[in-house]
Amino acid sequence: MEGGILKIVRGEFLVMKGTRQRNLYFLDGYIVTMRAVVSSSFDDEASDISQLWQMRLRHVGEKALQGLVKQCLLKGAKTSKLDFCEHCVMGKQTRVKSLRLFLRHRSLITRCENELEPVVLYAVTELPERPVIMEWSLSSLTYKGSISEAIQPTSISTKLSFFSQNPSPILYRYNPNKPFFKTSISCSLHQHQRQRSRPEYVPGRISDPNYVRIFDTTLRDGEQSPGAALTSKEKLNIARQLAKLRVDIIEAGFPAASKDDFEAVKMIAKEVGNVVDEDGYVPVICGLSRCNEKDIKTVWEAVKYAKRPRINTFIATSDIHLEYKLRKTKQEVIEIARSMVKFARSVCHDVEFSAEDAARSDREFLYEILGEAIKAGASTLNIPDTVGITMPSEFGKLIADIKANTPGIENVIISTHCQNDLGLSTANTIAGAVAGARQLEVTVNGIGERAGNASLEEVVMAIKCCGDHALGGLYTGINTRHIVTASKLVEEYTGLYVQPHKAIVGANAFAHESGIHQDGMLKHKGTYEIISPEDIGLERSNEAGIVLGKLSGRHALKDRLKELGYELDDEQLGTIFWRFKAVAEMKKRITDADLIALVSDEVFQPEFVWKLLDMQITCGTLGLSTATVKLIGVDGEEHVACAVGTGPVDSAYKAVDLIVKEPATLLEYSMNAVTEGIDAIATTRVLIRGEKNPSSTHAVTGETVQRTFSGAGAGMDIVVSSVKAYIGALNKMLGFKDQLQTKTSKERTTV
């Protein structure tokens, strides 16, 4: 309230007083049907019993007014057309001159600048027999209280604090048996999809206390999943997709693990860490290091090319780690942390310190080491639940205790990193955010060591759905419409496929089989869906109106793949189109599962080293199986080999080994039919390890680990599908070795 004029920044509000005349409520003031409303002051008298009715206004016509009459809300009024900025009083049209009213009226609500649709409100005295539910496009947090309390001039400035930045439809339920000014209001929110502005990135500080930074570690912690080895090109593609998601920080890898990891982080820093969009967004590119100078120097050499580089250095702090892994005293660990954070700060202005196994650490020791890290220059403190042992209440209390007891904590950002060993990573992460953490470390699809990490899509959508009314107004800067594409990309590159019932991105996440649920969905999707598929970039297949077959063209195929979350360029579309046509000739109808299998087989294969041209299998019950395989190499030369084995797949794999001459051990083999029927496409997935396999250093244990490589294939012949998967895994392994050899030879040449 300023100078007797109420100014509303967002939303629309109504204050009014009138007298009853016949069956209508005649207003002493006026309603301006614009982005504001006007009224006089009012007295809380018994005669001021009223019922509000609202309609979205662009053009309010005869049918709309007839609807009001049928509900006895305009009893006695004649039906008439109502155009924009016109007001109906006692069955007559009265044009409202808004400019003139604004100049002469005593008590005004000024026009508000917002993105809401204009609303017209009617005040009538004829109350319906049952409560009326009305939708009012207004930004608000959950608010309960009487209207008279909310609009008293003495308290209006404080009561308007419930206006938030996102417009949300609010359901008001009125009790017709009570006077209007004593009616309790219950607001039920459903978020509209309008992005709030992202605060400017400053290390150690966020200007908006409700903003939560998303730190994605898919390329580092996620890659530590068995079989999830990624090539540099695959990592770059995932990083680009993460930038489309608009994650705040991308942890691109552990540069000290291997030369390939170093080069991948360096490439991402150069190519992703310098792309600034029209809003000024550019992701922070982060690298992980242990608390030693060699690792920190290596990280800096990799990330320094980014516009916003960061070093994340860690050391264990729990008693069990100090005794058995580090074999150091608490004071020794504090000194290491202090000196290494200081060293990292000397080369990089943005330093994150992670206290490994913080959830099981002695609290007083944890407060002390975190305080020393702050003094040494850390701008972010990461609190990991490394073994996923805590309950949400425990983890939330841990974050709250750290905020209350760590000296200098007000000058840094608290981060969470929750493992999923007990299936509580998402819950713990949200609990940490509620308690004060403003950076959340997650991975796409929740992949990671052991049972994985907190899932990016689950954490982000939980905040998006519940941030305003349950989490104190928390929000992120994530563009959720790219979630499905990111999930598919990570699935295909890592070979780690999500279970059908996985929250948000699982195949069944928006499927409804129960008859009761289906009935509710047909009547209103909100009955059983709290998230719209479109919010995460997924179109409903049954609404697409497209059935693909042998007569379908490129455009229809491209549109359907986009609806499934695959955004392909023209070259990739051309690659898959010929396979689509071949399968369509043999199948009457192509399903979504068929398309996903074809995309996996054609688009997301590793770089071409060897390719299957032809194969012939002889098998049966009378003897050993024989396989003849023809492959083409990267040089264009064709190679043929023949081998015998205990079955068709075994003999085919042996024939491939004779050509490739890179023997590998088959660790895992699985095959599935993607659809029902004898004409179903089969998908095969394998995991291999070579005899002379590349190795890398494990980020947490420091041990040397042998890399494993996954491959996938699809075909209507199960043996062909199996051979394609095996060749795909070999190509990934050979490509990885070639990259290492190329980098080594370049280093020797420069020396």
Q: DSSP string covering 263-326, please?
A: HHHHHHHHHTTT---TT----EEEEEEESSHHHHHHHHHHHTTSSSEEEEEEEE-SHHHIIIII
* Spatial CB neighbours of 520, under 8 Å, sequence gap ≥ 6: 527, 528
State the Cα angle at 542 between 541 and 545, rounded to 5°: 90
The residue from 494, 528, 553 where one domain ends is: 494
Burial pattern 63-94, b for ≥16 Cβ within 10 A else e, equals ebbeebeeeebbeebebeebeeebbbbeeeee
195 band by pLDDT with thresholds 50, 70 and 90: low
231 band by pLDDT with thresholds 50, 70 and 90: confident
Q: Quick one: 618 and 730 in the same domain?
A: yes
Q: Any idea what the CATH number is for the domain that residue 445 is in?
A: 3.20.20.70
Q: Quick one: 104 and 74 in the same domain?
A: yes
pLDDT of residue 72: 52
Top-ranked range on mean pLDDT: pick from 72-81, 188-197, 437-446, 593-602 = 437-446
- Nearest CA-CA partner of 271 in 246, 218, 235: 235
Contact, 413 vs 205, CB < 8 A?
yes
Q: Quick one: 581 and 642 in the same domain?
A: no
Q: Does 263 reside within a domain?
A: yes
Q: Does 4 reside within a domain?
A: no
Contact, 382 vs 415, CB < 8 A?
yes
Q: Does 521 reside within a domain?
A: no
Sign of CA dihedral 231, 236, 237, 238: positive
Beta bridge partners of 18: 27
End-to-end, the C-alpha distance of the chain in Å comes to 73
State the Cα angle at 311 between 309 and 312, rounded to 5°: 135
pLDDT of residue 132: 28
pLDDT of residue 213: 98
Q: Quick one: 450 and 310 in the same domain?
A: yes
Q: Which pLDDT tens digit goes with each residue over 537-573?
A: 876 554 444 567 777 788 888 887 877 767 788 888 8
Distance between CA atoms of 90 and 372, rounded to whole angstroms? 74
pLDDT of residue 597: 76
Q: Which pLDDT tens digit goes with each residue over 567-609?
A: 788 888 887 887 788 777 777 667 777 787 788 777 777 677 8
How much is the average pLDDT of 181-192? 29
Tokens of 530: 């709290």
How much is the average pLDDT of 293-308? 98
Asked whether residue 356 carries a pLDDT value surpassing 90, the answer given is yes
The residue from 600, 625, 643 where one domain ends is: 600
How much is the average pLDDT of 26-47? 32
480 band by pLDDT with thresholds 50, 70 and 90: very high
Mean pLDDT computed over every residue of the chain:
73
Grouping H, G, I as helix, E, B as strand and the rest as coil, residue 18 is strand
Distance between CA atoms of 193 and 481, rounded to whole angstroms? 10
CB atoms closer than 10 angstroms to residue 460: 26
Higher-confidence residue of 287 and 589: namely 287
Q: Does 2 reside within a domain?
A: no
Contact, 493 vs 604, CB < 8 A?
yes
Asked whether residue 369 carries a pLDDT value surpassing 50, the answer given is yes
Q: Quick one: 558 and 652 in the same domain?
A: no
pLDDT of residue 35: 27
The residue from 494, 527, 554 where one domain ends is: 494
Half-sphere exposure of 244 (CA within 13 A, CB side): 17
For residue 216, which amino acid is it?
A: D
- Nearest CA-CA partner of 682 in 691, 690, 673: 673
Q: Does 532 reside within a domain?
A: no
In terms of C-beta density within 10 A (0-12 exposed, 13-18 middle, 19 or more buried), how is residue 140 classed? buried
How much is the average pLDDT of 18-25? 42
Higher-confidence residue of 654 and 65: namely 654
For residue 83, which amino acid is it?
A: D
Asked whether residue 225 carries a pLDDT value surpassing 70, the answer given is yes
Q: Quick one: 463 and 415 in the same domain?
A: yes
CB atoms closer than 10 angstroms to residue 30: 19
Beta bridge partners of 137: 169
Q: Any idea what the CATH number is for the domain that residue 725 is in?
A: 3.30.160.270
pLDDT of residue 179: 36
pLDDT of residue 749: 29
Q: Quick one: 41 and 136 in the same domain?
A: yes
**DSSP assignment letter at 60:** B
How much is the average pLDDT of 49-64? 35
How much is the average pLDDT of 120-146? 29
Of the given ranges (2-11, 13-22, 559-568), which has the lowest mean pLDDT?
2-11
Q: Does 197 reside within a domain?
A: no
Asked whether residue 716 carries a pLDDT value surpassing 90, the answer given is no
Higher-confidence residue of 549 and 517: namely 549
CB atoms closer than 10 angstroms to residue 274: 14
pLDDT of residue 62: 52
Higher-confidence residue of 648 and 746: namely 648
Top-ranked range on mean pLDDT: pick from 69-73, 76-80, 383-387 = 383-387
Q: Quick one: 352 and 303 in the same domain?
A: yes
- Domain region containing 544: 539-600
Strand spans (E) along 652-732: 664-673, 682-690, 695-697, 704-706, 709-715
pLDDT of residue 178: 38
* Spatial CB neighbours of 390, under 8 Å, sequence gap ≥ 6: 359, 398, 424, 428
Q: Does 680 reside within a domain?
A: yes
Of the given ranges (217-231, 331-345, 730-744), which has the lowest mean pLDDT?
730-744
Distance between CA atoms of 395 and 415, rounded to whole angstroms? 12
610 band by pLDDT with thresholds 50, 70 and 90: very high
Distance between CA atoms of 417 and 467, rounded to whole angstroms? 20
22 band by pLDDT with thresholds 50, 70 and 90: very low
> How many helices and strands, by DSSP H and E, does the chain display?
21, 26
Of the given ranges (350-364, 404-418, 732-746), which has the lowest mean pLDDT?
732-746
Q: Quick one: 553 and 697 in the same domain?
A: no
Q: Which pLDDT tens digit goes with each residue over 74-130?
A: 444 443 333 322 333 333 333 332 222 222 222 222 222 232 223 333 322 223 333
How much is the average pLDDT of 681-688? 88
Contact, 382 vs 437, CB < 8 A?
no
In terms of C-beta density within 10 A (0-12 exposed, 13-18 middle, 19 or more buried), how is residue 315 classed? buried
Distance between CA atoms of 639 and 633, rounded to whole angstroms? 8
Q: Quick one: 556 and 675 in the same domain?
A: no
Asked whether residue 492 carries a pLDDT value surpassing 90, the answer given is no
Asked whether residue 317 carries a pLDDT value surpassing 50, the answer given is yes
Q: Quick one: 404 and 307 in the same domain?
A: yes
pLDDT of residue 574: 85
Q: Quick one: 651 and 581 in the same domain?
A: no
Instruction: Please give the share of the chain, as a percent, with pLDDT higher than 90.
Output: 44
Asked whether residue 337 carries a pLDDT value surpassing 50, the answer given is yes
Q: Which pLDDT tens digit goes with each residue over 614-626?
A: 999 998 877 789 9
Beta bridge partners of 610: 633
Asked whether residue 66 carries a pLDDT value surpassing 60, the answer given is no
pLDDT of residue 278: 84
Distance between CA atoms of 249 and 303, rounded to whole angstroms? 12
- Nearest CA-CA partner of 435 in 387, 479, 383: 383
Q: Does 589 reside within a domain?
A: yes
Domain count, the chain: 4
CB atoms closer than 10 angstroms to residue 145: 12
Distance between CA atoms of 84 and 60, rounded to whole angstroms? 7
723 band by pLDDT with thresholds 50, 70 and 90: very high
